[in-house]
Structure 1
Amino acid sequence: MNIPDESARLVAWGAELRAVHARLRAALAVVREADGSDAVVTRDLLLVCHGFCVALTQHHEGEDRQLFPAIAAAHPELGDTLARLQQDHAMIAMLISGLESASAQDIGGHLDGIAAIMESHFRYEERELISVLDALALDAEPRDVLGSL
């Protein structure tokens, strides 16, 4: 009887990326809903925001650390695309830093900025990389590469 080696599994990275993006979009919607609620006190809102910020940061750090180098090795012609995506990651990190130090009155504006850049980034990433990801052979745990959300 031949037992398959767990490390030899094939991950559908394109589907994984779309799923993580969907979960991050949903998490942002929860934060934005909480931001408009009179029932949520500032401390609770900051806690919800912090959870979202951590998840988004882990997602981008995993891409920068593992996914993008694997893509660059297999597809050097995508260097400009990957550089643009990493630039987006830096911009989003800066916006998250501003959100984490924002007053309760300013959180909505910060969330609007993060939402706009995040959505543009996700759409570009999916448009440019899904076909590459669908064929990518990367031996790694999806949670390590794309975040744990």
Structure 2
Amino acid sequence: MTERETTRLIAWSHEMRRVHARLREALRVTREAVDRGESAETPARELLLFCHGFCSALDAHHTGEDRTLFPAIEAARPDLAPVLRNLQQDHSMISHLLGGLQAATDARSSPGVLAGHLEGIAAIMESHFRYEERQLLAVLEGLALDADPGKALGSL
């Protein structure tokens, strides 16, 4: 394997870490916007933008994994099928929770209600990211995936 090929493979694991870090940061910023909203310093429009943006980014990340990354991993490593199914179940649960946040945002629910939605998402999201990183980062460093990282991990 050439140095360039090795660098490309390791880049996949770094890219996943980078995307997870950005999503964690997006959640943090969204939570701060909700907290500021409780003191009426944040206009409702700003709060809506943060919530919509976070929901869209997290959904795009999971959609990319489900459609592009996970099938490529499973083709190369069929033994990981149970891990990938667990991760996809998490994606489904998180999608449901994001739907609840989206509905609460659209209904212009109170910051307290929005904060409750974000807490639930944060707990599942963090658990999911840690599991995914434990199970897949080393695997990504050894796989020759022929896919666009933006499509496979969601563009952030």
> Taking structure 1 as the reference length, what is the TM-score of the superposition?
0.91
Match in the other structure for 2:128: 121
Distance in structure 2 (CA, Å) of the matches to 1:129 and 1:138: 13
Match in the other structure for 2:4: none
> What does 1:1-149 align with in structure 2 at a 5 Å threshold?
10-11=8-9, 12-37=11-36, 38=39, 39-102=41-104, 103-104=109-110, 105-149=112-156
Post-superposition Cα deviations, 1:88-133, rounded to whole Å, max 9, x if no partner, equal 0000000000001111341000000000000000000000111101
Question: Which amino acid counterpart does residue 8 of structure 2 have in structure 1?
Answer: L
Distance in structure 2 (CA, Å) of the matches to 1:144 and 1:128: 20
- Compare the two structures and name the one with the higher helix fraction: 2
Match in the other structure for 2:3: none
**Paired positions, count:** 141
Q: Secondary structure of 2:8's partner?
A: coil
Distance in structure 2 (CA, Å) of the matches to 1:66 and 1:14: 15
Range 135-144 or range 47-56, more displaced? 135-144
Identity %: 61
> Taking structure 2 as the reference length, what is the TM-score of the superposition?
0.87
Post-superposition Cα deviations, 1:24-44, rounded to whole Å, max 9, x if no partner, equal 000100000111003112232
Range 126-135 or range 37-46, more displaced? 37-46
Distance in structure 2 (CA, Å) of the matches to 1:28 and 1:136: 30
Distance in structure 2 (CA, Å) of the matches to 1:40 and 1:89: 30
How far has the Cα of 1:13 moved from its partner?
1.0
Q: Secondary structure of 1:36's partner?
A: helix
Moved over 2 A (4+): none
Q: Which sections of structure 1, spanning at least 5 residues, go unmatched?
A: 1-8
Range 58-67 or range 41-50, more displaced? 41-50
Distance in structure 1 (CA, Å) of the matches to 2:43 and 2:103: 16
Question: Which amino acid counterpart does residue 146 of structure 1 have in structure 2?
Answer: L
